[in-house]
Amino acid sequence: MSLLCTLDAIVDGGALAVECMLEGRAHPLVLVRRGEEVWGYRNRCPHFSVPLDFRPGEFSTYRGQVLMCAHHSALFRFEDGHCIEGPCAGSRLEAVPVRVVQGAVVLL
């Protein structure tokens, strides 16, 4: 397990950019939080493989339920990364396994 951040570093209902080592390379991730739950995804929209944030680390979320791609306005559910609206409807974000352990968000 690799520490990504503390749970408190992610605003409840919001998103946070972090980097982690995957397959021997640094990859940008986005972590989304609802209450005590956190989900992790690669910071890449499946529509054109562009980052989800407009400016580095600035993400748009709506009602603590969905993450919006800043470039195409696609909407992705927090809990499974499924695109519910936008040009890539039906596709999903690439999940990265994370868990909250004693107030820390860790990569599994």
Going from N- to C-terminal start, the domains of the chain cover 2-107
Residues 6+ apart with CB under 8 A from 25: none
Encode pLDDT of 22-39 as tens digits.
Answer: 888 999 999 999 999 999
Determine contact, residues 85/94, Cβ cutoff 8 Å.
Answer: no
Q: What pLDDT does 1 receive?
A: 84
Q: What pLDDT does 102 receive?
A: 97
Note the CATH architecture for domain 2-107: 3-layer Sandwich (2.102)
Is the entire prediction scored with pTM above 0.85? yes
H/E stretch holding 84 reads strand 83-85
Decide the pairing of beta strands 25-34 and 15-22. Answer: antiparallel
Q: What pLDDT does 22 receive?
A: 80
- Residue found under tokens 């609802």: 34
Q: What pLDDT does 21 receive?
A: 87
d(CA 53, CA 70): 6
Low-confidence ranges of the chain (pLDDT < 70): none
